[in-house]
Chain A
C-alpha cells in the first residue's frame, strides 16, 4: 500500500510535466510538503519527447536532468507515478484528494538494469513516438525512455498472466518484479492544489482534407520531432513512413487545427516557432539538398523570436508560401502528398508535390472541459481561467494557456507562489 504523509499544509501538484515539476520543485524548495501526481510512469511530460528546443536548438535533456536532480535531492517532494486524481473535495486550505494508482508491477528495488526487458518477448507499438508508434516497438517490460525518472521499469498490464510476466520475474536479480501488485486508491489532505495537466496535440484526423488518417507521408509536428531524435523511431533519420526513403522535400502546414472555427479557436502560439526550428532538422540532415516549404497564414514568431524567423527566412532552402493549404491528395504512384491551394501573394493556384508533409498541429488542453474532477472555471477553449471561484486550485503551464516551455515554467513558478500563500495562511491560522 502506498503511504502518503500529507496535511492541510501540503501542496498537491496534478501533472508532472515541465510545469508541474517546476511548480512542485519551487514549492518544495521553499520548505513546503509537496505531493506530485503523474499519470504516466515517468515525470517530464511531453518535453521528454522533444528533440531540441527553440530558440537555442539545445537539448531538453539538459534542463530535465537539472530538474530530476532537484527532485531526487528534495525530501519535501513525494512523486506518485501512474497515478491520477479522480476526485477533489473541500476548499482552499482543506482539500481531500482521491488518487488512483495503477500497478507498475515493478517496485523500488529496480536498478534499471534491463534484464526483464531482455527476457520478455512480447512487443508493443511504442506510444512514446505518438503516431509513429508502429515504426518502433517496445517490449512488454520497458523503460519509457532512456532518461526516465523514476529510473524504474514498467511491465505492460497486457502481459500479466502470461509466461512473459513470469520470465520477467525470473530474470530480475533484485526482486523488483511484483506481479501481484494491484490498483489502489488512496486519499490524502492538501491545502492548495496546482493543476498542471498540460496539453495534447490536436487530433489531426479531424482535419479531414489533409488526409492524416489516409496518407502515410502526412505526419504531425510532434511526430517529426520524434523522427529527428536519434533515440526516436527512425534513429534520427528524416524519412518517409511509406517507404523509408529520404524525405528531402518537406512541407510544413501551419495552423493545422488552430485559429479555426471548425477546430481550435485559439492561436496555439508555439507551432510557428516549432516549424521554424524543424526546418533546421531538415537542413542538418541533408544540407543544401534538404528543402523546406512553409505554408502559412501569417508567421507568429512571438516577441524576441522574430530574429530566429528572420534567419530562417534568409535560408535559400526554406520557402515561405502564404496560403492555408486547401487539401492534400496522394500521388498513387509514389505515395507523395500533393498540396492544393491558392496563394495570397499573387493568387496563384498550385499543386505541389512533396516527399513528406508535417502538420503543425496546435495545442489543446489534455483534460476535456467536462472531465475535471473538481469545480473549476475554464474558458471557451478549455483552458483554466485564473478565477477566484477556483479557491485554492491554481493552474500551471499549458492547462492555463497554449505556452512554450519557457513561459510554462515561468507561469508554473507563479502558480507555486499562489499555492505557498494559501498554505502559509493555513499555517498562520493553526498557529
Chain B
C-alpha cells in the first residue's frame, strides 16, 4: 500500500462516497444514480466487466473501497459515451470510470497484470521520452509485455500488418534505432514536470 492510499483511507474511513466526490473526476455525480441499470445494458463491453457501472456506484455508496479500486471494471471502458448519453440522471459515467482508474493507479492499488493499465503505462512511458509516440517501439513493447515467447508469437501474428505499414510509409524501421522527438523536448519535459507537481500537490492536499 502506498502512503497516499493509507492516508486517504484513514481520512475518509468508511465514507468512500465522500472520498470519490472529493478526488475522482465528476465523482459528485455518483450520488445521482438511481440504479436503473440502463448504463450497464447500453455498454458494448458490458458482459466483460466484473461489475457493471450501476453496481460500481452502489459499491461506492456502500463503502466497498477495496473492491471498487481493485476492480477491473473501470479499465474496460472504451469511452464510447453510450452510457452518458442514455443516463436519465446525468451521471457522468465515462468520466467517473476514467477518474476511478486514474485514482486507483495513483494509489498504487491496481492489480498487477491488469492489461489495460499495463498498455496505458507503456503508452505514457513511450510518449514521455520524446514528446511523441514512437509507434514501432510502442507496438513492440506491447507485443513483448508478457515475455519474450509471447512477444515473438504476437510479432509473427502481426507480421503482415507491420510490413504493409512500412511499405505504405506509415512506419519506419529506422525508428527502432533512434526515433525522432519533438522540437523542444526539454521544454516539453519541463511542462510535464510542472503539471506533475500541480497534480501531486492536489493529492497531497486531499490527503490532509
Contact = CB atoms under 8 A, between A and B. Distances in A.
Contacts of B88: 255, 259-263, 324
Interface stretch (A230-238, A340-348, A423-431): A340-348
A340 B82 CA distance: 15
Given A297-B34, A326-B86, A344 B47 contact: no
A323 B54 CA distance: 11
B55 interface: yes
B126 interface: no
A297 B36 contact: yes
A196 to B, nearest CB: 30
A287 interface: no
B139 to A, nearest CB: 34
B51 interface: yes
B153 interface: no
A93 to B, nearest CB: 44
A349 interface: yes
A342 B54 contact: yes
Interface string A246-269: 000000000100011111000000
A342 B37 contact: yes
A245 to B, nearest CB: 28
Main SS class of interface, A: loop
A325 interface: yes
A317 interface: no
B111 interface: no
A341 B86 contact: no
Contacts of B35: 297, 322, 344
A296 to B, nearest CB: 9
A322 B89 CA distance: 17
A75 interface: no
A341 B35 CA distance: 12
B90 A344 contact: no
A326 B37 contact: yes
B40 interface: yes
Contact of A324 (B36, B46, B90): B36
Contacts of B37: 322-324, 326, 341-344, 347
Interface string B29-73: 000001111101110001100011011000000000000000000
B52 A324 contact: no
A60 B116 CA distance: 60
A311 to B, nearest CB: 25
Nearest to A262: B88
Interface string B167-186: 00000000000000000000
A250 to B, nearest CB: 20
Given A324-B88, A347-B51, A341 B34 contact: no
Contacts of B55: 347
A323 B86 contact: no
Interface string A313-335: 00000000011111100000000
Contacts of A349: 40-41, 46-47
Contact of B41 (A260, A298, A322, A327): A327
Interface in A289-325: 297-298, 322-325
A31 B86 CA distance: 53
A209 interface: yes
A248 to B, nearest CB: 25
Contacts of A255: 36, 88
A344 B54 contact: yes
Contacts of A322: 35, 37
A342 B40 contact: yes
A326 B52 CA distance: 13
B51 A326 contact: no
Interface string B155-170: 0000000000000000
A209 B86 CA distance: 10
B153 to A, nearest CB: 32
B89 A261 contact: yes
A260 B86 CA distance: 9
Interface string B87-110: 111100000000000000000000
Nearest to A347: B55
Contacts of B86: 209, 262, 326
B89 A342 contact: no
A146 B38 CA distance: 42
Nearest to A260: B88
Given A259-B88, A260-B88, A344 B36 contact: yes
A382 to B, nearest CB: 18
Nearest to A350: B41
A325 B86 CA distance: 11
A324 B47 contact: no
14 contacts: A209-B42, A261-B88, A261-B90, A297-B36, A298-B34, A322-B35, A324-B37, A324-B38, A326-B86, A327-B42, A341-B40, A342-B40, A342-B41, A347-B40
Given A262-B85, A324-B38, 16 more contacts: A259-B34, A259-B88, A260-B88, A261-B88, A262-B88, A297-B34, A322-B37, A323-B36, A323-B37, A323-B41, A327-B42, A342-B41, A342-B46, A344-B36, A344-B37, A347-B40
Interface of B: 34-38, 40-42, 46-47, 51-52, 54-55, 85-90
Q: 9 closest Cβ contacts across the A-B interface? A: A326-B41, A324-B36, A260-B88, A342-B40, A341-B41, A324-B38, A297-B36, A342-B37, A326-B42
